[in-house]
Every structure is written in C-alpha cells, then in structure tokens.
C-alpha cells in the first residue's frame, strides 16, 4: 500500500500530462478517423464524393441519426439508455402527420413532435425514478413496445402522406449559396443540426444542470450528497432524449412528406452505435458532443462511401458492427494505458 | 470558515437531543445525545454497526430521525435533505468520499453549488470564478495539488480526502463531520489529513471525527464519546481518559482501569 502510494505520488506529473493527452484523444481522436475516411473516399471517388450534391446528400441522410444520437448521448452520460427513441419518433411522425391532415395550423403541427417526444421521455424518466425500475433498459424496452403499438393503433398501421409544405420546410428546404452552382446549398436541416449540437454542447459545459448530468454519471451518490436532485436530473435527460426523437420525426416528415408507422425500427441501435463510436462511455460520465457528431459522421460516411462504390447494404451493416467493436476496443486500450494499475 | 463575531469558544454549535432512528423493526439509534462547540474536535467511537454512521447521516440530513431534535446554535432545525443541512452550515465528508472521479477538482468542490448567473431557473456556471475560488480555498487549507483541473480519479487517496475536506469547508461550514477520513490512506498521508483537521479547528470549525484509529482520536480530538448498540455509552474530555478506557468503551465495558490493560508495561 505504501509502495503504491509512493509510485502514485512520484508519477503524478506524468499522469497528469498523460491524462490530458488522453482526454484530448478522447475528444478529438475520432475526428481524425472522420478526416481519414473523407480523404480515402475522395481518393476513391474523386469526381463524386466531394461534389456539392453528394455532401448535401450526406447531411440530409445523417439528420435523423444525428438528432437521435444527440438525445441518447445526454442519457448515456448518466450511464442510462433509451431504447424507445425509434418508437417515439414513429408515434411523433404519425401524430404530426395526422394533425396536419386534420387541418391544424402549421406552427402547432411543428410542436407536435417535440411535445409528444418530451412527454414520453418524462414518462420514461418517471418510470425509472418513481417506479424504481432497476435499469432504464427495462423501462425504455417497455416504452419501445408500448409506443410502437400506440403508433400502429392511432394510424391503423397505415401511412399518412401529403404533409403540407410549411411543415416540411425544416426537413426538405435548402438555402442556396451565392456561389458553386445549382447544388451548392445549405439544407435547413443542417442548420437545425448545428443549432442543436452547439446548444447541447454549450448546455453540457456551461449550465449547472449539464454539469450535474456528468456528476450523476460519474458518481450518483456524490451527486446526491452534494444536494443535486438526482431523480430530477434523470427525468430531464429522458425528456431531452424524447424531445430530440420528436424533432427527428419533424425532420423525417419534411424529408419524406409522409408519416409512416414503421419509421425508425431499430433506429435506437444506430443512435447508440454513433454515441459509442464517438467515444462516450457506456458506464456514464464521459463523452463529448463533438465525439457524438464524429460518430454520426463515421456511420454516415461509411454508408455513403459504400453506396458510391456500389457495395451491398449487407456489407454496410457488417462493417458498422465491426467498427463499433473496434472503436470500443481502442477506447479500452487507451484507458488501460492511461490509468495506473 | 469565518468565526462569527463575539462567540465564545464554549458556545454550543450543534446539539442533538434524544435521536432515535428505526429502520423497520431494527432500532439503529436510541435516544442519542450529542453536543459540539466551536473549534472543538469531538471523536465519536464505536464498533462496526454501533450506529455512528447512522447518527452522522441523521446530522447531515441524509436520514430523517424517527424521534429527537437537532439544534443549531440553540435553534431547532429540521433537515429533509443534505441541502438543508448545508444551508445550516453542516458538512459531511463521507467514508467513500462521494466525489465524482470523472470531474476536475474545482468542479467537485463546488458541485451542486456552482458559482454563476441564474437565468430563468438555470445556473450558467462561471468556471473561471470556480477555478479561482477553488485554488484560493485549497491554498488557505494548505492543500497542494498540481492543478485544480486535474480529474479527481487521477489523485492519490490522500489528495482525494483533502479535496473532500476542501469541499466540505468551501462554504463557511460551522460543523464538519468526517467518517473515517484516514481509513483508506497510506500512513504518510494520515498525518496531513489530521493536520488539516487541526487547521479547521483553528478556524473555529466544529469537527466530528468518526474513527477506529486511537492514534487519530488521541492526536486531534478534544473530547471523545462512545456509542454502543445505538446508545450513548460514555463520554469524556480527552485529558481525562486513555486509550485503553476508550477501547473498553467500544467493546461495551466501563471501569476498564488502566492497571488492567493488557498492554500495560510494569
């Protein structure tokens, strides 16, 4: 014991530098992977990959996963999980499509998704804290099924098409750039993503509640005795996750112009994958918004690149599986080298 | 940490009267009394399961007592959460330290009480201010760390204990309760923590020290009280007792004359 403490004291300055370096790696390492993928793709597909059309395509394609992953990130920081986001998104899109068809004013329709999502998120949070279910996996597995069922019940399992242009604006509209030709546009959805990501990054860093989310993930007991309302924080994170699932529904409603009850089956797993590839710890307390974005981009670029090269979608799935395992394994190696034993 | 003006050294800071705590059919505490003055270090001893930690959790607002009352400077108070006891100036340093290892030192010190601007129900944390305050506070307590930005998980056991104590005293605490602060430390770190307790005492803070280590108790405490089977068993100023007597109290025996001690050298 004396020996261990001695070596710990002696090694302290190195450790601090090392932990700083590993923290930098933790935050930005995955961005290197993104850049690497982009370079490889632009070499393999020089004419097409960097074209304005393809880039805006990528941005549109990653939108849904980006929003779901952002919500899941907040939950995963507390060492939680939200399996219900795919179903929440489906119920949201059906309700907003039905509200739109029923002639509700469009500003109200825009609010349907985020409202429904937040509501179910609060229910998830209350199930975890009030019912004291042993793990969020169970509560959200319950809502994954229950909400998907509700979605089919309200819609009769039938898609609703013909969503109005005002409601579709966020998901489909482009803002043309003054240069670069016909396809040089910024999709409105990209601006939405940017605002959401920057907002969450700021919130998690600067707002006390954001710091409390990290504290709950790091040591819930410490958070509790520090006077933090741990249950309140938990309800908040599931509400946030639901909110972003509702927002994703709005995005998809715009992109496709219709609500369909099978939307987002399995989407929660893609979102979890992006968060984990982005370096967030499944055990809570660790992970950055930038990392999540990089994780989303890795998955997006992989799909885009394999599509451009006409490689089968089955390979995409296989590769994403391998990348999840690799990303977490690299994380394990990095952590082992960074901690004293 | 500031001494309130005009208060005498023997002023009672904290008093617990007749504290009783049931957990279902189990009686953890029964009619326990406790008094603590300014600048006093009270050692609380007792065997495992005697009720020391339960008593401290009652005093720090984590448990509500089934019966009995708590008075702060003569005023009855009721704690419904640790937040209430913080407001009354009682801080607890937990045995398991209760620090978030994934967060830096300065954030741990101000966790739950971050300095910043309140905007519509949210607090926008002023991290620069928090860093500065933490560094100043650590300097005041003569706690040395590389940087307040170090994550707590990168610190040694003694440094973590020091951070936990720094957190407990960051907000003008009147009373600091420490649950086995030296139990997990390397020997050379124990002295530093005990000296830190003496420094708190010099600042007028009342300290309750729960410890199994007689060396600690006899190094820093002014008075020692023993709890046995959830009740007050014995109590004495340190100068009027000795190690063997206190060890006897822990085991539930009184009148343990020094002459009977097994380690007496004749």
Search chain B and give the residue with CA nearest A281.
B102
For residue B201, is it within any domain?
yes
Residue A28 within any structural domain of the chain? no
Q: How confident is the model at residue B7 (pLDDT cuts 50, 70, 90)?
A: very low
Identify the pLDDT of residue A269. Answer: 94
Give me the pLDDT at residue A279, please: 86
Q: How many angstroms separate the CA atoms of A64 and A109, rounded?
A: 18
Is the pLDDT assigned to residue B260 strictly greater than 80?
Answer: no
pLDDT at A7 (0 to 100): 36
Residue B8 has a pLDDT of 46
Which pLDDT belongs to residue B130?
95
Report pLDDT digits (tens) over B31-47.
Answer: 999 999 999 999 999 98
How distant is the Cα of B260 from the closest Cα of chain A, in angstroms?
35
DSSP H/E element including B176: strand B175-179
Q: What is the pLDDT of residue A320?
A: 85
For chain B, give the mean pLDDT.
86
Number of H helices, E strands in chain A: 13, 4
Contacts of B80 in chain A (CB under 8 A): none
pLDDT digits (tens, 9 = 90+) for A267-285: 999 999 999 989 898 889 9
In A, which residues are within 8 Å of B96 by CB distance?
Answer: 221
Residue numbers in chain A where pLDDT is lower than 70: 1-27, 334-335, 337-341
**Which residues, 6 or more positions from A296, have their beta carbon under 8 angstroms from its beta carbon?**
A62, A65, A66, A69, A274, A278
User: Confidence band (pLDDT; 50, 70, 90) for B182?
Assistant: confident
Query: For residue B141, is it within any domain?
Result: no
Range of the domain at B192: 12-102+173-260
Q: Which residue of A has its CA nearest to B107?
A: A211
**Cβ contact, residue pair B186, A225, below 8 Å:** no
Let me know if residue B134 belongs to a domain: no
CATH of the domain at A261: 1.10.3470
Are B24 and B81 contacting, i.e. CB atoms less than 8 angstroms apart? no
Residue A294 lies in a domain: yes
- B180 occurs within a structural domain: yes
Q: Is residue A157 part of a domain?
A: yes
Which value, to the nearest 10 degrees, does the dihedral of the CA atoms of residues B137, B139, B145, B150 take? 30
In this prediction, residue A18 carries a pLDDT of 54
Residue A321 sits in which domain range? 48-338
Percentage with pLDDT > 90 across chain B: 44
Say if the ipTM goes beyond 0.90. no
CATH of the domain at B202: 3.40.50.300
Q: Is B249 a member of any domain?
A: yes
* pLDDT interval class at B183 (50, 70, 90): confident
- Best B87, B100, B126 member to test A by mutation, with max A CBs in 10 Å, is B100
Q: How many domains does chain B have?
A: 1
pLDDT for the residue A51? 87
Number of domains in chain A: 1
Q: Which of A16, A214, A221 sits opposite B102 (nearest CB)?
A: A214
Chain A closest CA to B85's CA: distance in Å?
10
Q: Which residues of A touch B (CB under 8 A)?
A: 1-2, 4-6, 8-9, 12-13, 15-16, 19, 206-209, 211-212, 214-215, 217-219, 221-228, 285-286
pLDDT (0 to 100) of residue A158: 94
Provide Rg for chain A, Cα atoms: 21
- Reduce the DSSP state of residue A225 to 3 states and report it: helix
Shortest distance, CA B183 to any CA of chain A (angstroms)? 12
Residue of higher predicted confidence among B87 and A197: A197
The pLDDT of residue A182? 72
Look at residues A253, A236, A244 and name the one whose alpha carbon lies nearest to residue A195.
A244
In a domain, B113, yes or no: no
Query: What pLDDT sits at residue A242?
Result: 98
Query: Considering the domain boundaries, does residue B16 fall inside one?
Result: yes
- Residues of chain B contacting residue A1, judged by C-beta atoms under 8 Å apart: 186
Contact A13 B147 (CB under 8 A): no
């Amino acid at each position: 014991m004396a020996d261990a403490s001695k070596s710990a004291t002696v090694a302290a300055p190195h450790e601090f530098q090392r932990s700083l370096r590993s923290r930098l790696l933790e935050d930005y390492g995955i961005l290197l992977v993104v850049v690497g993928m982009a370079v490889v793709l632009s070499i393999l597909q020089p004419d097409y990959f960097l074209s304005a059309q393809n880039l805006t395509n990528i941005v549109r394609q990653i939108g849904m996963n980006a929003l779901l992953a952002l919500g899941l990130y907040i939950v995963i920081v507390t060492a939680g999980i939200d399996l219900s986001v795919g179903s929440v998104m489906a119920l949201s899109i059906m309700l907003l499509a039905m509200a739109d068809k029923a002639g509700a004013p469009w500003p109200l329709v825009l609010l349907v998704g985020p409202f429904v999502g937040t509501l179910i998120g609060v229910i998830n949070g209350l199930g975890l804290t009030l019912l004291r279910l042993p793990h969020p996996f169970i509560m959200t597995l319950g809502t994954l099924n229950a909400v998907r069922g509700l979605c089919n019940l309200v819609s009769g399992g039938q898609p609703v098409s013909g969503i109005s242009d005002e409601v579709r604006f966020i998901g489909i509209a482009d803002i043309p750039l003054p240069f670069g030709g016909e396809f040089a546009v910024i999709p409105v959805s990209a601006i939405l993503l940017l605002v959401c990501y920057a907002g969450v990054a700021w919130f998690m860093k600067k707002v006390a509640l954001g710091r409390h989310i990290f504290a709950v993930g790091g040591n819930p007991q410490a958070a509790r005795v520090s006077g933090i309302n741990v249950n309140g924080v938990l309800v908040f994170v599931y509400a946030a996750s639901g909110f972003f699932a509702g927002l994703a529904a709005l995005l998809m409603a715009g992109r496709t112009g219709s609500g369909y009850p099978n939307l987002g089956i399995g989407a929660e797993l893609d979102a979890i994958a992006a968060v984990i590839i982005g370096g967030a710890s499944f055990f809570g307390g660790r992970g950055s918004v930038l990392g999540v974005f990089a994780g989303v981009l890795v998955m997006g670029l992989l799909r885009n690149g394999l599509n451009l090269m006409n490689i089968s979608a089955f390979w995409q799935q296989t590769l994403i599986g391998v990348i999840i395992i690799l990303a977490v394994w690299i994380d394990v190696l990095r952590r082992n080298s960074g901690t004293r034993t | 940490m500031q001494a309130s003006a005009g208060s005498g050294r023997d002023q009672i800071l904290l008093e617990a009267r007749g504290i009783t705590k049931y957990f279902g059919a189990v009686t953890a505490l029964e009619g326990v009394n406790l008094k603590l003055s300014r600048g006093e270090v009270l050692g609380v001893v007792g065997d495992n399961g005697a009720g020391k930690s339960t008593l401290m959790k009652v005093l720090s607002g984590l448990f509500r007592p089934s019966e009995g009352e708590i008075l702060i400077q003569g005023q009855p108070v009721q704690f419904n959460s640790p937040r209430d006891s913080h407001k009354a100036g009682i801080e607890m340093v937990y045995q398991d330290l209760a620090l978030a290892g994934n967060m830096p030192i300065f954030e741990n010190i101000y966790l739950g009480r971050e300095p910043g601007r309140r905007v519509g129900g949210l607090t926008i944390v002023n991290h620069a201010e928090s860093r500065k305050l933490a560094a100043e506070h650590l300097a005041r307590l003569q706690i040395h760390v590389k940087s307040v930005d170090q994550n707590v998980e990168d610190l040694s056991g003694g440094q973590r204990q020091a951070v936990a104590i720094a957190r407990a005293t960051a907000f003008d605490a009147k009373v600091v309760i420490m649950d086995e602060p030296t139990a997990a430390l390397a020997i050379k770190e124990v002295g530093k923590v005990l000296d830190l307790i003496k420094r708190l005492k010099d600042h007028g803070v009342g300290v309750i020290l729960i410890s199994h280590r007689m060396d600690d108790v006899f190094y820093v405490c002014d008075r020692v009280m023993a709890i046995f089977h959830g009740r007050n068993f014995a109590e004495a100023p340190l100068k009027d007792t000795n190690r063997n007597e206190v060890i006897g109290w822990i085991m539930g025996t009184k009148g343990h004359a020094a002459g009977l001690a097994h380690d007496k050298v004749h």
